[in-house]
Structure 1
Amino acid sequence: MTGDSPDTATPYVWQTPKNIVQKELTEQTEALAWPGDQALIEWIAHMPIYRKLSRSRLRMVLEAVEDHLLGWGTEKGTYQETRVKRHSFHIEHLMPQEWSKHWPLPEETDETERDARVQLLGNLTLLPQRLNSKVSNGPWTGDGGKVENLRKHDNLIINRTLLRQYDDFWSEGEIDSRTTALSEIIAEIWPVPEGHAPLAIREQKPASGSARIDLADLLSADFIEGGATIYPRSEKFEGLRATINSEGAIELGGQKFDSLSAAAKHLTGRPTNGWWWWTIEVGSDQHELREIRQEYLDAQGCDDTEDDED
Structure 2
Amino acid sequence: MFLARLTKRVGIAATTLFGVGVIVFVLLRVAPGDPIAMMIAPGATPADIAALRAHYGLDESIPVQFALWLKGILAGDFGTSISIRRDVLDLLAERLPATLELATAALLVAILIGGGVAIVGTMLRRTRGESVVDAANGLLLAIPDFVWALALVLVLGVFYPVLPLSGRVNPQSADDFATRFYLVESIVTLRFDKFLEVASHLVMPTLALALPLAAVITRVLKQALAETMVQDYVLLARLKGMSELRLILQEALRNAVGPTLALTGVQFTFLIGGTVIVERIFSYPGVGNMAIDAVINRDLPLIQGLVLAFGLMFIVINILVDLAVVALNPRLRHG
- TM-score of the superposition, structure 2-length normalised? 0.26
* Structure number with bigger Rg: 2
Q: TM-score, normalised by structure 1?
A: 0.27
